[in-house]
Amino acid sequence: MDTMRRVFLLIDPIEFQKCFYEWGDGFREKIAEETIAIDGKCSRGSRDDKLGKKAIHIVSAWANENQLILGQVKVDEKPNEITAIPKLLEFLDLAGCTVTIDAMGT
């Protein structure tokens, strides 16, 4: 087992997410009035039929001009993206930004 894998296995994902969002608050001034794209993606190669694992679906908030993901929420399946969007937006302060979303989120 490599060192990075051991480290990541020890990290509490919820606590990491909170720390990540706090760190991201430092970018608040940089993203003021920026275009933020909300979109869901399926991680290629994350499905494992032998182990019965479904593919990983993640909804992300992408700051276009700064080329930065501001936050992500994992969902069980693609149709669940619509329920993940409010959770993602709850964590982010996007006042003054233009937020875009694809047809799946409408």
Over the stretch 94-104, which tens digit does the pLDDT of each residue have? Answer: 888 899 998 76
Answer whether residue 31 shows pLDDT above 80.
no
Whether pTM exceeds 0.75: no
68 contacts 62 by C-beta, under 8 angstroms: yes
**Domain containing residue 57:** 3-105
Q: What is the pLDDT of residues 38-73, one digit of tens each?
A: 998 888 888 788 887 888 889 999 998 888 888 888
Q: How far is CA 19 from the centre of its chain?
A: 14
Name the residue with tokens 């930004």.
Answer: 97
Token reading at 13: 């994902």
What total of structural domains would you count in the chain?
A: 1
Query: Which pLDDT does position 8 carry in this prediction?
Result: 87
Cβ neighbour number for residue 47 with a 10 Å cutoff: 13
Token reading at 22: 């706090």
Percent with pLDDT over 90 in the chain: 17
Query: Which pLDDT does position 18 carry in this prediction?
Result: 85
Answer whether residue 37 shows pLDDT above 90.
yes
Query: Which pLDDT does position 78 carry in this prediction?
Result: 62
